[in-house]
Structure 1
Amino acid sequence: MIEAISCGGVVIFRGKILLLYKNIKNKYEGWVLPKGTVEPGETHEETALREVLEESGSRAFIVDYVGRSEYSFTVPEDVVAKEVHWYLMSTDSYYSKPQREEYFADSGFYKYHEAYHLLKFANEKQILEKAYAEYQERKRNNQWMN
């Protein structure tokens, strides 16, 4: 078994959530949250910020740690057990530009109910629920910047 650690973000601007649409030669299609693999010497926070910037072009900043998700998938030579650490993030604009090299065909900010239904994976929907609840709580308490 191969163990892998990734980090990502639920980026919220003016109540809308950043999503990416991945399309790998029509074999894999779906909306996802930005995330990626931890590189040697990087903290989880640094990875999450770098991956959001690389995959979406959004210059986000971390508000809080949301939690982690775990899942596994099969590759030709083995099974990969993946752990993903998620952060609630904010940014200062709706700007996004999908990273073509990673097969992202589209990106954008969506209202919560749209984002929830667009997301392909159940574990990302759970993270979105948790992150959005924290966003709403911070907004109610005037602890959200935009």
Structure 2
Amino acid sequence: MRRRLAVPMVSAAVAIGILGVFTGSASAASWEVNTGIETAYDPDELGYFNQRGDACAIGSPSGRVCFDRGDDGIYVRDEKNDHKSVTGYWLTGNRKGKCVNKAGFGKWVYCSKNFTDHKAIDIWLEYNGHKFLVTGNT
């Protein structure tokens, strides 16, 4: 009698454990990944980000990442001539993402997003284990 109950109980425990693994991973926010579109727009040259108070990360040897509140745009510039792409990261509310610059050295790319207004946003670049972070508002 005990043996008949043991098999269904073990099967149920395994099924609950597997269901728990899938449920836990499904509820975690996944990265929104975009390859940026090359743009001739240069936030530095026009002084746009300084005038409007939008956020730019300064100081990373690999590049720059900027956020434009007006159009919810993430801009990423590659500043290291190493033939590697540079990625700008962002996090706001329960959303997180990456804007990848594959255009090459010295070029800006743009990733269009649609964020909820008036939320905090962190944007950053990573380089050699360091995070170059800027916090702003959407």
Q: TM-score, normalised by structure 1?
A: 0.25
Q: TM-score, normalised by structure 2?
A: 0.26
Which of structures 1 and 2 has the bigger CA Rg? Answer: 2
